[in-house]
A and B are shown apart, each in its own frame.
Chain A
Amino acid sequence: MATTLSFDASSDPILQRRREIQGVATASLKRRKVYSKIAVAVCWAFLGIAIIPLVAVVAYVVIKGLPAWNPDFFTHVTTPEGIAGGGVWNAIVGTAEIGIIATGVAVPLGLSCGLFLAESEGKVAGAVRFTADVMTGVPSITIGIFGYIAIVKNFGYSGLAGAFAIGIVMLPVIVRAGETAFRGVPPTLSEAALALGARKSVIARRVVVPAALPGVITGVLLAVARGLGETAPLLLTVFGNQYMQWNPTKPMNALTLVIFENSSQPYADLIQVAWGAALLLMVVVLVLSIGSRVTAAVLRREKR
């Protein structure tokens, strides 16, 4: 094997190419690396930008809302501007009642539908699933309009109409979350029960639902958080009420309504109430959201 080359190796095309490529690679290295560093830094910067609004919103709501929290705030009803001692007690009651009624209707209906989807294949199920998916993103004001058409036109504004609308907002979320939770139950469990001769409804009640419970709770909590935070549907169905109203068949007040109405008023005391209500609402919604995440994490850990 010869070791010295009297032949000019650089005429070989591959070696020539190699030299050319290495030349370009070395010459462009600095540019490529700097470019990469800048691009990566921009991504980090954007991450920072994404966190800022969360911090800013939470901070402002806490800073401006906390001063509004006094015993009057929670026990008195809303008052017009200029009258001291106003609170959101009627709004709390309204939000709570509407939330409870909406949840009470949407959860059984939604979970049954979710169970149906979990246990069926085929085009019909696929269409229902697609419908639920699309409905989760539909503008909520149109659902408020639906509530108006369906109920308010015939029966007037009421907490029930609001609950109807909020229920419709929550329904697709519960359906999809329910389906996912039920599908997550290992089929071996229900197969074993079936082999023992149990009826499907019993299997559902005693095997599938309990096993899926963490996932179901996760989904329901998120749906409730979403429902409580809605405003547009309520504007068209519940109308609002200055006074205390325990009867859901009448117009009621709600926290989101108070925030919305007061926000655009030029009176500082009303704005103060709005911040206080915003803080309260945010605390409730964040607790529900975080609670749902915690449940989901527990679920994941248990699965391992």
Chain B
Amino acid sequence: MIDPTSPPAVAKEDIGLNTSEVLVDQPAGDPVMRLRNVAVAFAGRTAVRDVTFDVHAGEITALIGPSGSGKTTLLRALNRMQDTVRTASVTGSVQLGDLDVYAPSTDATLLRSRVGMVFQRPNPFPTMSIYENAVAGLRFNGVRKKALLDEAAESALVAAALWDSVRDRLKTHASTLSGGEQQRLCIARALAVEPEVLLMDEPTSALDPIATKRIEELVGELKHRVTIVIVTHNMQQAMRVSDRCAFLLMGEDKAGELIECGPTAKLFSEPTDSRTLDYVNGRFG
């Protein structure tokens, strides 16, 4: 397995510090995103409501729950992707560090350079080469220095476990890659911008089991570099990959709500809420 931390100028081991404490901007464990009473509605009809929990630095937080419980809707509110939907309205507060994500003075474009996203189906830009895809986010944000572009691209492709297989064909089109490789390219593309948080919307649901496994391993290694929030409808995946889980369920009014949030191990073995217990025991899905 390739070392995802990529060769630093000074090896952290030399300084005697644990990697997870250094690579994430904030000390590990501190909340990097805080959600308070977040609700999303489309044309007045609430899709998810009253969500309150913290996303901790250096951890993988999974949003789990049956389909329709609003997991993806909530995820997309975190990087203001719901802004693109005319009928959407987001209430409550989302804080990224000391930035109020939904404050009028906050620029959504700049926010998205700090909170990246990987989508369910791999969506590399088909007219661009592998290299161009990897640096696309950097270019969008105004980075022009070739040295920086190359360095960030290589680091990100290494972190996505793609560098070795593509390093000799960086100029070829992204469409020549397999599905799993394309998704890893998308992950690299998001990582190249060096976001603080990476949102992943069911990143493996469109992939075969082998590709899924590779990406799950990848995600596990990435948490030293970015805080991850991952939506998954696959309980086993949540168990394998995440440090913390937030369980959402659709209520009678067809709006999703947060039932419980806590460390994964505890949530799956001794959940507080009976509905969580039912879900993790597979009584509905």
A21 B6 Cβ-Cβ under 8 A: no
A25 to B194 alpha-carbon distance, docked (Å)? 12
Chain A residue with Cβ nearest B17? A7
A21 B141 Cβ-Cβ under 8 A: yes
Q: Report chain A residues within 8 Å CB of B25.
A: 9, 15, 18
Report, as a range, how many residues of chain B touch the other chain.
35 or more
Segment of A28-36, A211-219, A263-271 engaged in the interface with chain B: A28-36
Q: Report chain A residues within 8 Å CB of B29.
A: 1, 3
* 0/1 string, B140-158, CB within 8 A of A gives 1: 0111000010011001000
B142 A24 Cβ-Cβ under 8 A: yes
B110 A29 Cβ-Cβ under 8 A: yes
Looking at the assembled complex, report how far the CB atom of A181 sits from the nearest CB atom of chain B, in whole angstroms: 33
B113 A21 Cβ-Cβ under 8 A: yes
Contact of A21 among B5, B15, B152, B225 (CB under 8 A): B152
Q: Report chain A residues within 8 Å CB of B155.
A: 13-14, 17
A13-B138 CB under 8 A given contacts A20-B148, A25-B110, A29-B107: no
* B contacts with A: majority SS: loop
Q: Report chain A residues within 8 Å CB of B17.
A: 2, 5, 7
A25-B113 CB under 8 A given contacts A14-B23, A15-B25: yes
B113 A22 Cβ-Cβ under 8 A: yes
B152 A17 Cβ-Cβ under 8 A: yes
A32 to B138 alpha-carbon distance, docked (Å)? 13
Looking at the assembled complex, report how far the CB atom of B154 sits from the nearest CB atom of chain A, in whole angstroms: 11
A28 B141 Cβ-Cβ under 8 A: yes
B194 A14 Cβ-Cβ under 8 A: yes
Q: Report chain A residues within 8 Å CB of B18.
A: 1-2
B1 CB–A CB distance under 8 Å: no
A9 to B27 alpha-carbon distance, docked (Å)? 11
B143 A24 Cβ-Cβ under 8 A: yes
A121 CB–B CB distance under 8 Å: no
B233 CB–A CB distance under 8 Å: no
A27 CB–B CB distance under 8 Å: yes
A22 to B114 alpha-carbon distance, docked (Å)? 8
A142 CB–B CB distance under 8 Å: no
A13 to B143 alpha-carbon distance, docked (Å)? 17
A11 CB–B CB distance under 8 Å: yes
A12 B22 Cβ-Cβ under 8 A: yes
A75 CB–B CB distance under 8 Å: no
Contact of A24 among B5, B20, B22, B141 (CB under 8 A): B141
B9 CB–A CB distance under 8 Å: yes
A230 to B196 alpha-carbon distance, docked (Å)? 64
A5-B22 CB under 8 A given contacts A17-B155, A27-B142: yes
Chain B residue with Cβ nearest A29? B110
A26 to B110 alpha-carbon distance, docked (Å)? 7
Q: Report chain B residues within 8 Å CB of A5.
A: 17, 21-22, 27
A12 to B109 alpha-carbon distance, docked (Å)? 26
Contact of B109 among A4, A7, A20, A29 (CB under 8 A): A29
A1 B107 Cβ-Cβ under 8 A: no
A5 to B17 alpha-carbon distance, docked (Å)? 9
Q: Report chain B residues within 8 Å CB of A7.
A: 15, 17, 22
B6 A17 Cβ-Cβ under 8 A: no
Looking at the assembled complex, report how far the CB atom of A57 sits from the nearest CB atom of chain B, in whole angstroms: 34
Q: Report chain B residues within 8 Å CB of A15.
A: 22-23, 25
B28 CB–A CB distance under 8 Å: yes
Could you say which of B8, B23, B142, B225 has the most chain A C-beta atoms within 10 Å of its C-beta?
Answer: B142
Looking at the assembled complex, report how far the CB atom of B88 sits from the nearest CB atom of chain A, in whole angstroms: 21
A25 to B108 alpha-carbon distance, docked (Å)? 12
B10 CB–A CB distance under 8 Å: yes
Q: Report chain B residues within 8 Å CB of A33.
A: 107, 109
A1 to B225 alpha-carbon distance, docked (Å)? 16
Chain A residue with Cβ nearest B148? A20
Chain B residue with Cβ nearest A25? B141
For the complex of A and B, 10 pairs with smallest distance between CB atoms: A28-B142, A18-B194, A25-B141, A3-B27, A25-B113, A24-B143, A13-B8, A24-B142, A17-B194, A1-B28
Other 16 A-B pairs with CB < 8 A, given A14-B194, A17-B151:
A1-B21, A1-B27, A7-B15, A9-B25, A11-B8, A11-B9, A12-B8, A12-B22, A14-B5, A14-B6, A25-B113, A25-B143, A26-B110, A29-B110, A32-B142, A33-B107
What are 6 A-B interface contacts by the 8 Å CB criterion?
A15-B22, A21-B143, A21-B194, A22-B194, A24-B141, A26-B110
